[in-house]
């Protein structure tokens, strides 16, 4: 046992504490590993079979009393069997509030670590349900005590006290006292947020049951009617499944075109645009063939007969975006269209 290891254990180092306990209990075939979460120290005692609970907890408590570690307020002890991965037993101790253990012999009695007698027809263990909020009640009480609040205080009160005391400690330069304050705040915040989530879930469950009951009675009394499925893509105008763009844009544009053609003045103003749209069709064929083309609103499209790698790659990038959009929305026709146009573009450009 080196002095440096002992000093580390007195400073609250979990690995050093576990190493000291392992050295002491190694003749009995027990190994110890530890972990520390702020004020909470966790120790796992592993043996074959699992160490006895009462003797092991008492031994761990006496060891921490001798080390006199003031920074540890909660001790969690786990007993494990070397043959299994789960804990056989567990116990939690509040070191600051637990009564002092009567002095006993330093070594644990050999009878405590003897092989247990086999039990005839053992009953299967009963496991309690595991809740999402696994914060120990002792830790919650300790966190309230650290902040100077009454148990059951609201999250707003916890936040107000925490930030007020934190500002005072920062002004005083006492950063060592911030660690327990931060631990208490995070513990209470997680606990209170879980309680709020559980209460909101409990409120929603009766409403869900009521709606289910009404739906069942409705199905019994009236025949079922097809329900329009929800379309979450209706808010995205670029989505392939947008019912508004698929059903309204084309008729609206068609109606607008008919109205503009019916007005002589508007038809005259849009004469150049209509010609340009016609020439744009000629330019599209040239672009698919990898040629540079400029559609002009005077009834003419300038085309360069030489191949252009820039045009070829530009059209290929656009087809790649169409392919990616189809894969993203899980639509087959954009994917097939992009692949088909890419093949057509390749043959029109290079053959």
pLDDT-derived band at 136, boundaries 50, 70, 90: low
- Asked if residues 289 and 303 have their Cβ atoms less than 8 Å apart, the reply is no
Q: What's the Rg (C-alpha) of the chain?
A: 38
CATH number given to 3-100:
3.30.70
pLDDT at 102 (0 to 100): 44
**First-to-final CA distance of the chain:** 84
pLDDT in tens, 183-230: 888 888 888 888 877 776 655 555 554 555 545 544 544 455 554 544
Task: Please name the residue ranges forming H helices in 263-350.
Answer: 264-269, 271-288, 309-328, 332-350
As given in the structure block, the two tokens for residue 151 are 């148990």
pLDDT digits (tens, 9 = 90+) for 33-92: 888 887 788 888 888 888 888 888 888 888 888 887 777 878 888 888 877 666 778 888
Give the distance, in angstroms, between the CA of residue 34 and the centroid of all CA atoms in the same chain: 27
Three-state SS for 120?
coil
pLDDT score recorded for residue 116: 43
Could you tell me if 183 and 39 are in contact, meaning their C-beta atoms sit under 8 angstroms apart? yes
- Average pLDDT over every residue of 302-326: 94
In the predicted model, what is the mean pLDDT of the chain? 77
The span from the CA of 305 to the CA of 260, in Å, is 37
């Amino acid at each position: 046992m080196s002095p440096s290891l002992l000093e580390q254990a007195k400073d609250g180092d979990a690995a050093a504490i576990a190493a000291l306990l392992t050295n002491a209990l190694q003749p009995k075939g027990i190994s110890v590993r530890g972990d520390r979460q702020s004020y909470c120290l966790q120790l796992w005692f592993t043996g074959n079979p699992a160490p006895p609970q009462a003797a092991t907890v008492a031994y761990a408590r006496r060891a921490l009393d001798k080390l006199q570690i003031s920074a540890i307020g909660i001790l969690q002890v786990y007993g494990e069997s070397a043959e299994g991965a789960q804990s056989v037993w567990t116990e939690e101790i509040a070191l600051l509030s637990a009564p002092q253990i009567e002095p006993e012999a330093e070594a644990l009695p050999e009878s405590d670590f003897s092989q247990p007698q086999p039990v005839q027809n053992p009953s299967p263990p009963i496991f309690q349900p595991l809740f999402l909020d696994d914060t120990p009640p002792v830790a919650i009480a300790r966190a309230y005590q650290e902040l100077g609040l009454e148990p059951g205080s609201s999250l707003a009160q916890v936040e107000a006290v925490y930030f007020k005391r934190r500002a005072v400690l920062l002004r005083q330069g006492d950063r060592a006292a911030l660690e327990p304050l931060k631990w208490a705040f995070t513990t209470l915040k997680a606990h209170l947020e879980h309680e709020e989530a559980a209460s909101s879930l409990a409120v929603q469950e009766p409403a869900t049951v009521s709606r289910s009951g009404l739906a069942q009675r409705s199905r019994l009394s009236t025949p079922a009617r097809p329900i329009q499925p929800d379309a979450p893509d209706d808010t995205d105008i670029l989505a392939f499944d947008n019912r508004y763009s698929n059903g309204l844009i084309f008729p609206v544009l068609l109606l607008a075109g008919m109205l503009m053609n019916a007005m002589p003045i508007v038809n005259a103003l849009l004469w150049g645009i209509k010609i340009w749209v016609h020439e744009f069709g000629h330019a599209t064929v040239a672009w698919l063939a990898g040629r540079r083309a400029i559609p002009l609103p005077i009834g003419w499209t300038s085309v360069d007969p030489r191949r252009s790698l820039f045009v070829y790659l530009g059209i290929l990038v656009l087809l790649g975006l169409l392919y990616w959009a189809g894969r993203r929305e899980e639509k087959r026709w954009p994917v097939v269209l992009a692949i088909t146009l890419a093949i057509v573009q390749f043959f029109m450009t290079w053959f």
